[in-house]
Structure 1
Amino acid sequence: MPDKVNLSTGDSADDLRKREIIRGRPKFGSVYLLGTFFINAGSHAAASVAGHKADQDRSRVGLICGGGSGQGMLSAAVCGNIFASPGPTQVRCAIELVDNDKGNYTGDVLNFGLAKEQFAAQHPSKVDKVKFLVVGDDVAVGKTQGGIVGRRGLAGTVLIYKIEGALAEAGVGLDEVYSIAEWVSQNIATIGVGLEHCHVPGTMAGEAHLTSSEIEIGMGIHNEAGVQCVSPVPPLSRLVQTLLDLLLSQSDPERGFLSIQGSGKDNVVLLVNNLGGVSELELAGIAREAITALSARGVRVLRVISGTFMTSLNMPGFSLTLLLLPSSSSTAAPPEDVILRLLDASTSAPGWKWTSCAPPSELPPPPAPLISERAADNALKVRAQDVQGFVLAVERACNALDKAEPEITRMDTISGDGDCGLTLQTGANAVLARLRAGSISGEDVIGAHRHGGTSGALYSIFFSALAQSLSTSPAGVVAVHDWSRAVSAAHEQLYTYTRARTPSRTLIDPLAAFSDVFTANPSDLRSVVEKAAEAAEATRDIEARVGRSAYVEAGLLKRERVPDPGA
């Protein structure tokens, strides 16, 4: 936002003065993510933060909203200081700027209410042309606690803005806009969660409120503390279930803000809102988990809206909002399809993210397990000499990988892109799952398994070549010399797909050591393992020529002296 108004617009001095008042001056800089005097859900552009629309259609209801700067709402017309409400003079000037034939609609509490009364006092003939609605969708505040002060307004407000804007654009009268908005405000609920509080620009960074093992539920957008601190941080699936308990509970006397019917009769709109510090990738994962959890509870999601709509500056957290759609038996509510059409209405407001105007698609079923190459050829199974020992060996290796994930990830954060530990852990846990399901056994040591990443491709090539060699075992039982021959053949086959050769500071170094020693003396497994371990540790002092480490500054690798995580 420019510091001064463009004086070449031809506007009157009074208009310019009003604009300056409305814009306000946050203490710590302009933190308006978006600013509009009203949401325009149709084809016309939303109003500018610098003033009202030049071509405003005064035959339609004007919408005004506002609050403290830093919340990053879709529409923050009248901006106060960070986390502080704008004054009544600013709000009243906004009302005058968008004054029209249909009336105006404002939303905040004391200062907006005061501005409404002052406007009515100055314009007695327009006393019924301004309506006022407070939105309180926070379910973290229980009914007893919020009985006097009321519940806080969170991201659910954004859905109300969108619905109001679409109604106003369609030319609906003030009373109907207000009536539908009021109904929506009574059927909407939001809960937020964060890993830390936000930092207000221009102030000294405070100490961390939470430890690395804690997460806070019920945080407000004004940096208020939550109502529940959970440690250790639960997995997303369990966290989402906790949030849905607060949103949907009918047994908790302090909750039950939404009239859930149960038995699959409830349809909702889901809003996944970024509180400021969450990536798009994470939001997508949160949305998917929420849809899955709601479906399991018999709640059908008809629309999903995900993005950054109402923030708490840079808070690393998110909120879930549910708008409970009216049932077919409800007579006092607007029809469900009307609410959905209003949310689906096109808009040029830059803060409104594109959304699919349809229910989320069904999640695809998990892919069928890959059949073994042996089964595909209808050939005999290749059996391990020690069936139980084979299974225990695979299990021990996978458990060791799972346990080593944090250390491997730490090493890869220094020498690579930080995903090696998680990639290996994912593959190991998938193998463990197949072991438990009985699809891997020592009765048939040849099988196929999916694994991701560059290293996953190398592993898959190596083990596929290993399987090809083992499949030629004449007796149908794999002996030590069969393993030795297969490892050597697989090693050579892998070299046809990679340029890496020892010393390379990659997984090739311990693999080559393992293959060479095992081929030479397959009966001395202790020496084989020791040589492979030595080669892996030696990668800490090898100059990176291939692999991800080749892109890392050489001085960093010398200073840190971490072995290659893949090795």
Structure 2
Amino acid sequence: MSVQNKHFLNTAPTLVLDSLEGLARLNPALALDPTEKVVYVQSPDRSKVALICGGGSGHEPAHAGFVGDGILTAAVCGSVFASPNAVQVRRAIDLVDNDKGTLIIVKNYTGDVLNFGLAKEQYAALHADKADKVKFLIVGDDVAVGRNQGKIVGRRGLAGTVLVYKIAGALARRGSGLDEVYNIAEWVSSRVGTIGVGLEHTQVPGNAPAKSHLGADEIEIGMGIHNEPGHRRISPVPPLKELIPQLLEFITSTSDPDRSFLPFRNDGSDEVVLMVNNLGGVSELELVAVVGEAVKALQGTGVTVHRVLSGSFMSSLNMPGFSLTLLLLPQKDESSAPSTSLILSLLDEKAETPGWRWTSGSVPPSSIPQPSGSGSSASVLGAGAHRLSAPDPAAFVAAVERACKRVIEEEPEITRMDTIAGDGDCGLTLKAGAEAVLQQIQKGAIKGDDVLGAVIQVSQVAEKEMGGTSGALYSIFFSALAQGLQSSAGSQSTTSDDIWKGAISSALAKLYTYTRARPPSRTLIDPLAAFVQSFPNGFPAAVKAAAGAADATKDVEAKAGRSAYVEGDRLKKEKVPDPGAWGVKAILEGLLG
């Protein structure tokens, strides 16, 4: 997998400050010291404990995105993946000076610990009367780094840090003293574990273009948030239902003395908060699928999940990966621990910050509510519908089969056209519909002695199996065709050319009420309209006219459909017909035989 080396920025050196200025405009309650790159609450309540965090930039929304009422009072920002210096940190301590004291929370990275720690000690030396008013907490929640490997530097600080300062920030807002806020934060930091996984490393803006570190079918477990290598690589990429249990095992296991950091009992009594964190480059579609699998995996092992948080909390620029964090809540027999209700209430409290994501404040369901009943009301023909047969029922079914097989044969060519003129899926979409219709024929659901039922079956296949724009257009047309057949047939029980003529004309007219495309439009409307208009001249002549209209789309300027979004000169150069139009041509020629 290739590394994304392009970025949206003015210049690499100004990116951090540009971002902080944007954040301050996003949240008017914030102020910014541009020289020291400190974001802070403009008018803090100085009768309450202040919280400071920070570190290298590139992990947004951490930490500046969590500055605001209810979480952090200030964040100190270094360059991308580089710790801020002690001067910057001292400036933050001065800016949040208050009556109750300040808690500094840092991720366990050497640069952060040294610079924030140095600032604390320098501040204490300069303000001896306030030396006990500043406390320091290091969070190391990574479970990928074992005790032997990290015996000197300790575990890395990852997304679990956000849970620590969210809970501590809410407690500070309630008016608790410095010691109480520190003690709760320290307890939470001792109960969080995080494991990350990535498809590839990330590239730092301004650095030389990065090369791929992982194979096309390879992932890395335990990657850090600064491109540090992980614990191990896996190939091929496993499905989520296999990957997620492996990741959770890193956090919950108590059988590995080198990596068992949290006191899970694994006896059905464990209760947790789950955080699914986007490391920057995972789509929301995939991330929420991770959420579902993680909740199922935990519940399947007897772990009670009290809360679920999902989104970007601590990223690594645009790294295509995610991390799982568990906060192990106190057991009922842990008398010295804070109560579960207190921890959850602090976590649930609203925070006035751009970075904090919505949470339900409730336990996720063990099963998903679903509607009752038998499904679609359009699955069978109404009782009052007129039964209509083809003159030759067997020939009718044979024609439908030919049309489906012709579409399947044409799929590679239609796909080739669509990779140039669209998004590349038209051929496969039509093939899926054709294969589903063939299955309905094999089941006996499409019969020549029930033309109305057959047309409705085709409509439903288009709706369910094709989907997208093409599926909707085909489904509307065939639904309208069924209506047209009923009205054109009257009391007749067998189809005729006149009945089909009236039916397809009314179907096209009804389709026009749902699309603005009119021939020539470089869409499937072009051959369909040509077929309807030429049908009075006979079926073969109508198919020939449709084929000509489909071929002519290669010279038509795109006005609607997928091709309208493709650069016009490219379409003219490639000279490919519209893929959707070619699909209609294939269907009609298959019907003709």
Taking structure 2 as the reference length, the TM-score comes to 0.70
CA 1:421–1:336 in 2, change beyond 3 Å: closer, same or farther?
Answer: farther
Contact 1:60 1:168 in 2 (8 A): yes
- Residue equivalent to 2:563: 549
Pairwise CA distance, 1:227: 3.5
Q: Does 2:363 correspond to 1:363?
A: no
- Residue equivalent to 1:60: 48
Q: Does 2:201 correspond to 1:197?
A: yes
Percent identity of paired positions between Structure 1 and Structure 2: 54
- Residue equivalent to 1:81: 79
Gaps of 5+ in 2: 1-10, 22-26, 65-74, 107-112, 582-593
SS of 2:580's partner is coil
Map 1:287-326 → 2, pairs under 5 A: 287-326=291-330
Q: Matches of 2:529 and 2:501 in 1, distance apart?
A: 10
For 1:84, give the aligned amino acid: A
Q: Matches of 1:391 and 1:369 in 2, distance apart?
A: 27
Pairwise CA distance, 1:83: 1.0
SS of 2:326's partner is strand
Map 1:110-189 → 2, pairs under 5 A: 110-124=114-128, 126-189=130-193
SS of 1:496's partner is helix
For 2:470, give the aligned amino acid: S
Q: Matches of 1:254 and 1:428 in 2, distance apart?
A: 56
1:246-285 alpha-carbon deviations (Å, 9 max, x no partner): 4445556655544445576444333233323345555445
SS of 1:318's partner is strand
Pairwise CA distance, 1:365: 2.2
Q: Matches of 2:423 and 2:179 in 1, distance apart?
A: 57
CA 1:347–1:470 in 2, change beyond 3 Å: closer, same or farther?
Answer: same
Contact 1:28 1:82 in 2 (8 A): no
Contact 1:374 1:381 in 2 (8 A): no
Q: Matches of 2:186 and 2:379 in 1, distance apart?
A: 63
- Residue equivalent to 1:9: none
Q: Does 2:458 correspond to 1:454?
A: no
CA 1:332–1:420 in 2, change beyond 3 Å: closer, same or farther?
Answer: farther
Pairwise CA distance, 1:197: 2.5
Pairwise CA distance, 1:485: 7.2
Contact 2:46 2:97 in 1 (8 A): yes
For 2:522, give the aligned amino acid: R
Q: Matches of 2:273 and 2:532 in 1, distance apart?
A: 57
SS of 2:207's partner is coil
Q: Does 2:474 correspond to 1:496?
A: no
- Residue equivalent to 2:88: 90
Q: Matches of 2:561 and 2:573 in 1, distance apart?
A: 19
CA 1:157–1:365 in 2, change beyond 3 Å: closer, same or farther?
Answer: same
Name which of 421, 442, 446 aligns with 1:415. 421
SS of 2:275's partner is strand
Q: Matches of 1:549 and 1:46 in 2, distance apart?
A: 46
Name which of 22, 29, 36 aligns with 2:14. 29
For 1:460, give the aligned amino acid: S
Which deviates more, 354-363 or 150-159? 354-363
Contact 2:223 2:230 in 1 (8 A): yes
Contact 1:485 1:519 in 2 (8 A): no
- Residue equivalent to 1:334: 338
Pairwise CA distance, 1:144: 4.1
Map 1:201-212 → 2, pairs under 5 A: 201-210=205-214, 212=216
CA 1:301–1:376 in 2, change beyond 3 Å: closer, same or farther?
Answer: farther
Q: Matches of 2:98 and 2:105 in 1, distance apart?
A: 17
CA 1:325–1:484 in 2, change beyond 3 Å: closer, same or farther?
Answer: farther
Contact 1:189 1:323 in 2 (8 A): yes
Contact 2:421 2:562 in 1 (8 A): yes
CA 1:393–1:440 in 2, change beyond 3 Å: closer, same or farther?
Answer: farther
SS of 1:78's partner is strand
1:108-162 alpha-carbon deviations (Å, 9 max, x no partner): 3233233334444445554543332221222333444334432221112111111
- Residue equivalent to 1:506: 523
Pairwise CA distance, 1:166: 0.9
Q: Matches of 1:510 and 1:249 in 2, distance apart?
A: 63
- Residue equivalent to 1:14: none
1:193-243 alpha-carbon deviations (Å, 9 max, x no partner): 333322222223223334554444333221223344444555555554554
Pairwise CA distance, 1:546: 3.6
Which deviates more, 345-354 or 252-261? 252-261
Pairwise CA distance, 1:460: 0.9
Pairwise CA distance, 1:165: 0.9
CA 1:530–1:185 in 2, change beyond 3 Å: closer, same or farther?
Answer: farther
Pairwise CA distance, 1:495: 4.0
Which deviates more, 528-537 or 268-277? 528-537
Q: Does 2:561 correspond to 1:560?
A: no
CA 1:204–1:458 in 2, change beyond 3 Å: closer, same or farther?
Answer: same
Which deviates more, 258-267 or 555-564? 258-267
For 2:138, give the aligned amino acid: V
1:155-190 alpha-carbon deviations (Å, 9 max, x no partner): 121111111111111121222212211221222222
CA 1:364–1:207 in 2, change beyond 3 Å: closer, same or farther?
Answer: same
Which deviates more, 382-391 or 361-370? 382-391
Gaps of 5+ in 1: 1-25, 37-42
Contact 1:412 1:565 in 2 (8 A): yes
For 1:370, give the aligned amino acid: S
CA 1:553–1:395 in 2, change beyond 3 Å: closer, same or farther?
Answer: closer
Q: Matches of 2:192 and 2:403 in 1, distance apart?
A: 51
SS of 1:85's partner is coil
Map 1:381-400 → 2, pairs under 5 A: 385=394
Q: Matches of 1:33 and 1:161 in 2, distance apart?
A: 25
Q: Does 2:383 correspond to 1:377?
A: yes
For 1:377, give the aligned amino acid: A
Contact 1:34 1:75 in 2 (8 A): no
- Residue equivalent to 1:464: 479
Q: Matches of 1:63 and 1:457 in 2, distance apart?
A: 54
CA 1:334–1:425 in 2, change beyond 3 Å: closer, same or farther?
Answer: farther
For 2:14, give the aligned amino acid: G
Alignment: residue pair count: 525
SS of 2:272's partner is strand
Q: Matches of 1:428 and 1:519 in 2, distance apart?
A: 27
Taking structure 1 as the reference length, the TM-score comes to 0.73
CA 1:157–1:373 in 2, change beyond 3 Å: closer, same or farther?
Answer: closer
- Residue equivalent to 1:16: none
CA 1:350–1:544 in 2, change beyond 3 Å: closer, same or farther?
Answer: closer
SS of 2:162's partner is helix
1:542-567 alpha-carbon deviations (Å, 9 max, x no partner): 43344342454421211233442334
SS of 1:167's partner is helix
Contact 1:34 1:351 in 2 (8 A): no
- The RMSD of aligned alpha carbons is 4.9
Contact 2:105 2:165 in 1 (8 A): no
CA 1:73–1:554 in 2, change beyond 3 Å: closer, same or farther?
Answer: closer
Pairwise CA distance, 1:455: 1.9
CA 1:564–1:349 in 2, change beyond 3 Å: closer, same or farther?
Answer: same
CA 1:72–1:461 in 2, change beyond 3 Å: closer, same or farther?
Answer: closer
